[in-house]
Amino acid sequence: MSKKLESTLVNMVLSLVVISMVMSATLAFVYEKTKGPIETASKQKEINAIKQVMPAFDNNPATAKKEKDGVVIYKLTNKNKLAGYAVKTYTDKGFGGHIEIMVGFLPDGSIHNLIVLQHKETPGLGTKMTDMKFSNQFLGKNPDKFKLMVKKDGGQVDAITAATISSRAYCDALQRAFDIIKLSADSSLVQK
């Protein structure tokens, strides 16, 4: 009986090893097949976001891309003149953690448009940061003259009711984007 038990144990271990190897190879195959389309879809989503936050531009954003401190900057032109900057910015100060925003800055530093790309805020509260009612208060504002802080903290931003943390995080992401643009050596915002 011990011979049969030993044989069965060896067979079970061997079977588990073979199954594990087959599953690993299958996962690697699926990953390789889907990696390209996922990257392409992600890039297209970012290009679409840039088009939403910026006025007309004629250069390729992918070739005008620069990254600094986790913030991605796209310098955009139209007929060889600066159209502005699309900035993919972030903050980790949201109630649900990480928030990503795409914001478009005109050459004078004012905000043209902005959209939330990713967040995990509380449904019905923090998610209201995606509503136009909240985001419209930033349009046309230059962060040099418009204090990107909620009114409760001495700023000029009307916070979302019952979602002050999300509102603060949103402002933090916008300020991060503006500060990076302002510090950028090739930025026209520096040349006032």
Query: In the structure encoding, which two tokens stand for residue 9, read together?
Result: 């144990």
Q: How many residues are listed for the chain in this entry? A: 192
Give pLDDT tens digits along the chain (192 positions).
455 555 688 888 888 999 999 999 999 999 999 988 888 888 888 889 999 999 999 999 888 889 888 999 999 999 999 999 999 999 999 888 899 999 999 999 999 999 999 898 888 787 788 888 899 999 999 999 999 989 999 988 988 888 889 999 999 999 999 999 887 755 555 443
86 contacts: CB under 8 Å, gap ≥ 6: 49, 50, 53, 54, 61, 73, 74, 76, 102, 103, 104, 105
Q: What is the pTM of this model?
A: 0.76
DSSP notation for 17-69 = HHHHHHHHHHHHHHHHHHHHHHHHHHHHHHHHHHHHHS----S-GGGGEEEET
Q: Residue 160 gets which letter from DSSP? A: P
